[in-house]
Structure 1
Amino acid sequence: MPFKRFKDWVVYRAQSKFLVAVLGVITNEEGQVLLLKHVYRREPWGIPGGWMELEDPEAALEREIYEETQLKVEITGLAKAIYGTKPNRVDLIFTGKIVGGTFARSSEISEFMYCDVDAWPEGLPMGQKKLIKEILGLLE
């Protein structure tokens, strides 16, 4: 159709823009949750994640985790999508499991740990504690 490109251009220009983040509640064989210590955060501990590029969301999360830690994960499902602001974004929260690799520090991640629920390290934000428990079906 001759007007399709024009229509697509108008729609693109008229729509709000947002980023897409991918995050993971990743567990090991014992059911412990993978937490990473981020060097640039005031509350440094958190679940792994990053910004999606022009790629499949599951592949984006696997890539982010590998780039930051050298750990290999298998994504097992999409658990939740959340709209957030500052910046405007959609957070896609996945579940997954560790399937290989050996941890290596990166410019963004200084440490990692596998954590039992409610044995949280100092510096894990309350919102992430709640999110992890929700994704794992442990909210009271």
Structure 2
Amino acid sequence: MLSRLVNLIPRDWLVYMYKYMPSKKFKNWVVYRTQHKFMIAVLGVLTNEKGQVLLLKHTYRRDEPWGMPGGWMELEQPEAGLVREIYEETRFRARITGLAKAIYDKKPARVDLVFRGRIVGGTFTPSVEISDYMYCDPGHWPQGLPAHQKKLILDILARN
């Protein structure tokens, strides 16, 4: 509600008010309350030395249990968030080699940061979220991998 009201104020007035507000804490509070909110997800297209793609079997997905490694970022660098998520869910240690793509979606409002990388160590241990893993050849997907992830993985692999 507050963000809608603030959006009615001309931009130059907002800049002036922000510039001359006496309290930095209050400025930050106003900015936080008036800006749109969205989540940031980190996802990985991780391959082994044969070029096979790592997929994880998610325990909380019934119809399409297989998917890319990833999760929601916390207050951290994106690459660190992906490495943390992979370790928490599988006990694999990952090395991220670069950002491949950023995707915006409205439902829910979020940005997906898709990285390339490799697994560099660790021994798979099932978790409350992940029951199994597999490496598969691109295009030879397991049943239960969402179509949008198949397309995304092939798109990322084609960029290299």
Aligned partner letter, 1:82:
I
- What does 1:1-140 align with in structure 2 at a 5 Å threshold? 2-41=22-61, 42-137=63-158
Write 1 or 2 for the structure with the bigger share of strand.
Answer: 1
Equivalent position SS for 2:125: coil
Q: Which amino acid aligns with 2:102?
A: A
Which one scores higher on RCO, CA 8 angstroms, separation ≥ 6? 1
Higher helix content, 1 or 2: 2
Deviation at 1:74, TM superposition (A): 0.1
Paired letter, 1:110: S
SS in 2 for 1:6: helix
Identity %: 70
Rounded to whole Å, the distance in 1 between the matches of 2:129 and 2:41 is: 16
Instruction: Give the aligned partner of residue 11 of structure 2.
Output: none
Q: Single out whichever of 8-17 and 50-59 deviates more from structure 2.
A: 8-17
- Alpha-carbon distance in structure 2 between the residues aligned to 1:89 and 1:37: 23
Normalization by structure 2: what TM-score?
0.82
For 1:66 and 1:4, locate their aligned partners in 2 and report how far apart those are by CA, in whole Å. 38
Structure 2 runs not aligned, ≥5 long:
1-19
C-alpha offsets along residues 5-51 of structure 1, whole Å, 9 cap, x if unaligned?
Answer: 33322221111111111000011111110000001112000000000
Radius of gyration: which is bigger? 2
Q: Could you say what secondary structure the match of 1:62 adopts?
A: helix
TM-score under structure 1 normalisation? 0.93
Aligned length: 138
Deviation of the 1:3 alpha carbon? 4.3
CA distance in 2, matches of 1:122, 1:29: 24
Counterpart-to-counterpart distance in 2, 1:104 and 1:51: 20
Structure 1: 5+ residue stretches without partners: none
| SS class of match (1:31) | coil
